[in-house]
């Protein structure tokens, strides 16, 4: 059993934390995920790369 789960992106975060999760508001905070495992989320790396541009 993991001690913490880190979700990369909103879709996996919503699947593990809850459908109402918003990455802009909840990013970086620990949430009570499935099976009581602490879960956090951050932006997906591809999203960050797109923000930087070519």
For the residues 4-31, what does the mean pLDDT come to? 95
Domain ranges of the chain: 5-52
With beta carbons less than 8 A apart as the criterion, state whether 42 and 6 touch.
Answer: yes
> Could you give the count of Cα atoms lying within 13 Å of 18 in the half-sphere of its Cβ?
10
Percentages of the chain per state (helix, strand, coil), in multiples of 5: 40, 20, 40
Q: How many CA atoms lie within 13 A of 46 on its CB side?
A: 3
DSSP H or E stretch at residue 32: strand 31-32
Tens of pLDDT, residue by residue over 21-40, are: 999 999 999 999 989 999 99
pLDDT digits (tens, 9 = 90+) for 43-52: 999 999 898 7
The confidence score (pLDDT) of residue 26 equals 94
């Amino acid at each position: 059993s993991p001690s913490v789960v880190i979700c990369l992106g909103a879709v996996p975060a919503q699947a593990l934390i809850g459908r109402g999760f918003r990455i802009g508001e909840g990013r970086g905070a620990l949430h009570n995920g499935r099976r009581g495992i602490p879960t956090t989320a951050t932006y997906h790396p591809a999203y960050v790369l797109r923000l930087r541009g070519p």
